[in-house]
């Protein structure tokens, strides 16, 4: 039955067109934004996971930046220790020279004084971002942020790597006039040759220097191990960040090839639906012709 009051064909065609337009709008949004899950209403579970993982990935990026700062602190301390080893080796050489009975020990001490001053200068200069790991002061431990983790219960933790400043510091403190005291090199700073000094006393200074060199080597080894840890963690953080980004992408990113194909199909369907609606609307005019005939 054909009715001039209700055009069921047009209503069906209009409903189809509305559905097509809705799907077309969704597809166009995915094509323009690149996301298939851009908001919570698109997929609550995937949106929730991606939001949390993106937040964690940002925190991981911040931890990576902190690693770079930590690496700089470690490199600064290592440079100081390495330089101190060279200076202490020079002091050792001067003591060997002083063991020769014909040498002027007072003149050799003048050279040692300058080397001791250099040790103090190295210790003072080894500061990065306000932290000096080779002069202990009130510090007992140096800390480097090296990671961000989320545990199984949903809690988060910041992980750190540490350096034992109290054991490995070159100096315990710096005096008001900039002279290092205490620490690994404290005894080296007390070396003072005189013309009347015996070989036994010089040998005692040699033992002091050897002990300092051994401790400096241990300090350098600890810093080297920490550098290796930081480098490995930095590489891991980069790899982990890439993995998180890939995982999140699989959840929320649109497949552009698929969406492009859908867009073309929906545009074709839209054209056909418009034509179908036009045909349905023309049926009322056909009834008018019946009365005209």
CATH number at residue 162: 1.20.1330.10
Lookup: tokens for 149: 């983790």
pLDDT for the residue 152? 65
pLDDT (mean) for 20-48 = 81
pLDDT for the residue 287? 65
Question: Does residue 229 lie within any of the structural domains?
Answer: yes
Question: Does residue 77 lie within any of the structural domains?
Answer: yes
pLDDT for the residue 39? 82
Q: Fill in the DSSP letter of residue 135.
A: B
Percent share of the chain, pLDDT over 90: 41
Compute the 3-state secondary structure of the chain and give helix, strand, coil in percent, each to the nearest 5: 70, 10, 25
Confidence of residue 171 (pLDDT cuts 50, 70, 90): very high
Question: Does residue 288 lie within any of the structural domains?
Answer: no
Output the average pLDDT for the chain. Answer: 85
Confidence of residue 216 (pLDDT cuts 50, 70, 90): very high
Question: Does residue 18 lie within any of the structural domains?
Answer: no
230 Cβ partners below 8 Å, 6+ apart?
67, 70, 71, 74, 144, 146, 161
- Residue-wise burial string across 167-200, b where 16 or more C-beta atoms lie within 10 A, e elsewhere: ebbbbbbbeeeebbebbbbbbbbebebeeebeee
Question: Does residue 246 lie within any of the structural domains?
Answer: yes
pLDDT (mean) for 48-53 = 86
pLDDT for the residue 4? 58
pLDDT (mean) for 82-88 = 96
Domain that holds residue 244: 40-252
Question: Does residue 291 lie within any of the structural domains?
Answer: no
User: What pTM does this model have?
Assistant: 0.73
- Contact (Cβ atoms closer than 8 angstroms) between residue 273 and residue 16: yes
Interatomic CA distance for residues 199 and 197, integer angstroms: 7
Question: Does residue 182 lie within any of the structural domains?
Answer: yes
Is 192 a residue whose pLDDT tops 90? Answer: yes
Counting the structural domains of the chain, the total is 1
pLDDT for the residue 201? 94
Q: Fill in the DSSP letter of residue 140.
A: -
Question: Does residue 282 lie within any of the structural domains?
Answer: no
Lookup: tokens for 3: 């009715």
């Amino acid at each position: 039955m054909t009715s001039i009051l209700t055009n069921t064909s047009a209503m069906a065609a209009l409903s189809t067109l509305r559905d097509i337009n809705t799907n077309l709008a969704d597809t166009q949004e995915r094509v323009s934004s690149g996301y298939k899950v851009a908001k919570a209403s698109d997929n609550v579970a995937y949106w929730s996971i991606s939001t949390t993982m993106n937040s964690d990935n940002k925190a991981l990026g911040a931890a990576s930046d902190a690693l770079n700062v930590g690496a700089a602190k470690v490199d600064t301390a290592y440079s100081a220790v390495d330089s101190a080893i060279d200076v202490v080796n020079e002091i050792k050489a001067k003591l060997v020279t002083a063991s020769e009975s014909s040498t002027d020990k007072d003149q050799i001490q003048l050279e040692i004084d300058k080397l001791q001053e250099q040790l103090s200068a190295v210790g003072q200069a080894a500061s990065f971002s306000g932290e000096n790991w080779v002069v202990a002061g009130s510090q007992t431990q140096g800390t480097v942020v090296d990671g961000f983790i989320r545990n199984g219960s949903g809690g988060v933790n910041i992980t750190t790597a540490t350096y034992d400043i109290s054991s490995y510091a070159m100096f315990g403190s710096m005096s008001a006039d900039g002279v290092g005291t205490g620490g690994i090199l404290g005894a080296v700073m007390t070396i003072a040759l005189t013309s009347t000094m015996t070989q036994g006393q010089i040998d005692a200074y040699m033992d002091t220097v050897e002990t300092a060199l051994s401790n400096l080597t241990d300090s350098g080894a600890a810093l080297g191990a920490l550098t290796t840890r930081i480098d490995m963690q930095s590489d891991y953080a980069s790899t982990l960040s890439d993995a998180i980004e890939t995982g999140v992408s699989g959840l929320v990113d649109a497949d552009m090839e698929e969406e492009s194909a859908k867009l073309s199909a929906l545009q074709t369907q839209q054209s056909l639906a418009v034509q179908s609606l036009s045909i349905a609307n023309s049926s009322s005019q056909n009834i008018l012709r019946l009365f005209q005939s």
